[in-house]
Chains A and B, each alone.
Chain A
Amino acid sequence: MDSTVANTGTEGKTWGGGNRPLKVSYGKMMMWFFIVSDALTFSGFLAAYGFSRFKFIKEWPIADEVFTHVPFLHGQELPMIYVAFMTFILIMSSVTMVLAVDAGHHMNKAKVTLYMFLTIIGGAIFVGSQAWEWATFIQGDYGAVQTKGGNILQFGEYVTEDGEEKFKRISIDEFAVSIPDARVEHERKNGLWFREEASLPPYTVNEIYTGLAANDNIRVRTQIINDEGEKTVLSRAESLKQIKDNGKLVVKGANLQVNEYGTSLFADFFFFITGFHGFHVFSGVVINIIIFFNVILGTYERRGSYEMVEKVGLYWHFVDLVWVFVFTFFYLV
């Protein structure tokens, strides 16, 4: 019956099989290769972001003016603080993850359990923070007017603070005049023939214009970045003219079509890249939870190796790694 050749005479030789030149298990190596491909996906996104930013280099929104909010500190402009906190949380959870891996090497079940738990908590805090960041971004704060050409016009006034003249943004809610004959959103209860429509903007351009005309201090700021690295502020006459001639839509907050911060691609990339990263964090948390329960149940104790923790750890660190780049290119550069 022994018809297959079991002995090839190459055992122990270089090409005889059974060699592990990389000295890693199959699973770990495949995790590394997955990470390489995922890194390429993310760099594709970030490079596309760079492409769009280079394309609109003179009018890209300034991150410090967009991401200024911190929970519980309403109305204060604190750029960078919140996102620095998020970065620290993610790095911290990376540390607890690597400590779990280290405890796994020592076959210390109690420590692996503790550190995996802390990692999951860190990941959950991060995802929650990102949800808050999104909510704030979507809600917006000052509002703006979009022109026929798709550009964004924002409002503000010059104020003197500590002897320095500064441009301070003003919310459209503060000066827009309500004109009662404006169109109302079509709702089901108002008509027999109902066609759903998207919710209307908070004001019409006419209401903004009337408010602008009534307040001499308010000026319009365009998207164009001047030589000092600041957005261009128009003269009073030019402000009124721009809104009257070119104003088309009042915008508050952000969605995939339009946003109050500047060119629409900015919000698109923000949603897409941080969303894709957030999805990675979320799936990382889910995988971590599965592994966490396996640790508790003693699966790896019986298996005699905590390598699974190491593999999921690689993925988790990778998520942290990506965030380091997202942080730089969205918030710093």
Chain B
Amino acid sequence: MAHEHKLEIFRGLVKFKSNTSKIWGVLVFLTIVTLIEVVLGIYKPDMLMHTWIDPFEGGFLATLGNILLSPFIYMKPLNFIFIVLTLVKAYYITWDFMHMRDETKALRRMVVWTGVFLICYLIFILLQEGGYVYEVYFTEDPLIKRDF
């Protein structure tokens, strides 16, 4: 049984000669990404430790803007970079190590869309609730006293 592999990564920018060399290529890429993460994690550049945009204040549009831009408004740029790099690594592990690139479009979507949709939903719900509980605990007049 012949196994066809799609051998280009980065949207055709890099094309490997064989499946084996593609595997090593992806390993090099993943290692570089991990190294970037580790170096950033150790040195923590000051520039990336504070958010670049302050939350908008005002009416409905400001709130909407805060929700839409929440990764930039409420998250440190460093953490945002970490999460993006993690997703990049996840993509290449799934696509090249698990050979998702070679599966049919239908199977790919069954697995990826289902997972991504449910996970996004779960994350949204739980983080939203966590933020709310934080406000209940730590406002000026908290319902629960914790500082003793």
**Residues in chain A within 8 A of chain B (CB atoms):** 21-24, 29, 32-33, 35-36, 39-40, 43-44, 47-48, 50-58, 64, 79-81, 84, 87-88, 91-92, 94-95, 97-99, 101-102, 105, 147-151, 229, 246, 305, 313-314, 317-318, 320-321, 324-325, 327-328, 331-333
Interface string of B50-92 (1 = CB under 8 A from A): 0000000000000000000000000000010011011001100
- The answer on a CB contact under 8 Å between A43 and B119 is yes
**Contact residues in A for B98 (Cβ distance below 8 Å):** 313-314, 317-318
- The answer on a CB contact under 8 Å between A24 and B103 is yes
Q: How far is the CA of A98 from the CA of B30 in the complex (A)?
A: 14
Interface string of B114-148 (1 = CB under 8 A from A): 11001100110111011101100110000001111
- The answer on a CB contact under 8 Å between A99 and B20 is yes
- The answer on a CB contact under 8 Å between B19 and A102 is yes
Q: How far is the CA of A143 from the CA of B102 in the complex (A)?
A: 52
19 A-B contacts, Cβ less than 8 Å apart?
Answer: A21-B104, A36-B115, A39-B115, A47-B126, A47-B127, A50-B123, A51-B127, A52-B130, A64-B41, A84-B38, A91-B34, A98-B23, A102-B23, A317-B97, A320-B93, A320-B97, A321-B94, A332-B79, A333-B82
B89 nearest in chain A by CB position: A324
- The answer on a CB contact under 8 Å between B27 and A40 is no
Q: How far is the CA of A84 from the CA of B37 in the complex (A)?
A: 9
Q: How far is the CA of A24 from the CA of B31 in the complex (A)?
A: 30
Counting CB contacts under 8 A, is B13 at the interface?
A: no
Q: How far is the CA of A296 from the CA of B93 in the complex (A)?
A: 27
The 8 Å CB contact of A22, one of B38, B107, B148, is B107
**Contact residues in A for B118 (Cβ distance below 8 Å):** 40, 43
- The answer on a CB contact under 8 Å between B79 and A39 is no
**Contact residues in B for A54 (Cβ distance below 8 Å):** 127, 130-131, 133-134
**Contact residues in A for B107 (Cβ distance below 8 Å):** 22-24, 29, 32
| Interface size in chain B (residues, C-beta < 8 A) | 55
- The answer on a CB contact under 8 Å between A43 and B23 is no
The 8 Å CB contact of B93, one of A22, A50, A92, A321, is A321
B123 nearest in chain A by CB position: A47
Known: A21-B104, A52-B130, A333-B83. A36 touches B147 (CB 8 A): no
**Contact residues in A for B82 (Cβ distance below 8 Å):** 328, 332-333
- The answer on a CB contact under 8 Å between A95 and B27 is yes
- The answer on a CB contact under 8 Å between B134 and A325 is no
Residue of B24, B93, B133 ringed by the most chain A CB atoms within 10 A: B93
- The answer on a CB contact under 8 Å between B31 and A88 is yes
Q: In chain B, residues 1-52, which have Cβ atoms closer than 8 Å to a Cβ of chain A?
A: 1, 3, 19-20, 23-24, 27, 30-31, 34-35, 37-38, 41-42, 49
Q: How far is the CA of A328 from the CA of B131 in the complex (A)?
A: 20
Given A24-B107, A33-B110, 15 other A-B residues pairs in contact with their CB atoms under 8 A: A22-B106, A23-B104, A36-B111, A43-B122, A47-B119, A51-B129, A52-B130, A53-B130, A95-B27, A98-B96, A102-B19, A102-B20, A317-B98, A321-B94, A332-B37
**Contact residues in A for B23 (Cβ distance below 8 Å):** 95, 98-99, 102
Known: A50-B127, A95-B24, A331-B41. A88 touches B34 (CB 8 A): yes
